[in-house]
Chain A
Amino acid sequence: MAKPMFARRLSKELKDLAMNAPAGVNIIDANDFKVWKLGLAGAPGTLYDGEKFQLEFNFGPNYPLESPQVLFVGDNIPVHPHIYSNGHICLDVLYNHWSPVQTVASICLSLQSMLSSCTSKEPPPDNATYVKTARANPKHTAWAFHDDTV
């Protein structure tokens, strides 16, 4: 086991993404196994049709046993009830429901379906307070989730 697990896993994921990335997902920058930047396009026929977003993945040495840090970055952050204007995303699989069976590609798909099912482009109700007090790393937030149909 010459390569540490996160490197082995990420090199496989990178190869897979390069060859069969999900529709609307493209690699912008993945030159190391620490930080990746991916492009995510709003799906046709949804409120985000035609919009382009950027996602940043930060991987720790315990990936994939521990979740990566995932946020929207750049100048176009999706306006969505589960996405804060600082790019933080309220999605359970990124935090307490993380499982190593998730991959970068599967997270992109989850985020795309979260955008696609949105019926009204509104920021989270507590956006202003959250953005003022949150840390840079969304994993240091005490996320609380409850089911919703939004």
Chain B
Amino acid sequence: MTVTPVPVPTDAPIPTAATTTTGAAPVTAGAVANPVGAVPTSGAQGQETQLTDEQILTQMQAIKDEEANAHPLVDHSVDLLELAQEYENGSEAFKRKIQNLSDTHDRMRRSRGDGNCFYRAFAFAWFERVMLAIKSKPELHVNAVRTIKETKDLLLAAQFELLAFEDFYQVTLETVQNLVHFTSEELLTAFQNDEVSNSIVMHFRLVASAFLKTHQDDYAPFLEFGQTMDEFCSMHVEAMGRESEEMMLIALTKATHVSIEVAYLSGNQAADEVNFLPFLPDTAPYMPPLVLLYRPGHYDILYRKSHCLDGVI
């Protein structure tokens, strides 16, 4: 896509949202959440001090560190009813639905809300399922390793350059291979490590993108008028931090042969029950679906009570 610059750095002061709290770092808050949000300052007019690029970087890193401590990329699992406490003074509908959900689901695990939550939740839930079943159902591990190896061919078929994706692929494959000896704590540590965790997210983004690109006939009709699949994928799938839509869930499910059920927790007053939407691969599922909890704009992991799991783990 060709672009024209629209007048850019202005003399406008820094956005107020970023300046009010600390008074120190004007530029950073927006910049971390969204690279476009960075606003150049206009020389030191009045009270705003011009920061050097070096200082901006330091501050951006500090904000990232703070965010990382408050919200790990993937958190420890918690009792599902802890979620209800979030809505203590809020929506009755949410509270009722969580209560009903707790009949069949007992725990949940948060994925950081950084736009990558779906991919990260999917990967963690899948790998954890495989790891916990390593003794009882070793074939899940065999399947997972084979599936990840197959994604390399899928990416090549979609014309991705090996050089550009092999590091992410390699980290993902190594993580899956390591599930044989990982403890729960080690798996969590891996997913809390920026490089490992983001590489896995990136790999699954590319897998979803490659699937859509190699099945254009099926999915192009869902795009906005005039948009090509390549444009859609480069803008919404391949870039980190871009939120996922149902099309990405469908693509990832089919590309990995792993089924998902998404529990939609909405504030809709009319219903007491949570709606479950299944995403099924084309092949017969070889394990019960991973369960994700969706609240508008965000995915976390849900754990179905073991007696509802067909005894898989």
Contact = CB atoms under 8 A, between A and B. Distances in A.
Contacts of A136: 53
Chain A CB within 10 Å, residue with most, of B35, B41, B167, B240:
B35
Contact of B7 (A130, A148, A149): A130
Contact of A90 (B4, B10, B34): B4
Interface residues of B, number: 44
Q: Determine the main DSSP class of A at the interface with B.
A: loop
Interface string A44-67: 000000000000000000101101
Interface string A137-150: 10111111111111
Interface residues of A, number: 53
Given A4-B195, A8-B167, A142 B5 contact: no
A8 B168 CA distance: 11
A13 B161 CA distance: 11
B234 A99 contact: yes
7 contacts: A1-B195, A13-B163, A90-B3, A92-B3, A95-B35, A99-B240, A144-B5
Interface of B: 1-11, 27, 31, 34-43, 53, 56, 160-161, 163-165, 167-168, 171, 194-195, 198-199, 202, 206, 234-235, 238-240
Given A67-B35, A82-B4, 20 more contacts: A1-B171, A12-B163, A65-B198, A65-B202, A82-B2, A97-B234, A97-B235, A101-B165, A106-B164, A124-B4, A135-B9, A135-B41, A135-B53, A140-B31, A140-B38, A142-B8, A142-B36, A145-B3, A145-B5, A148-B4
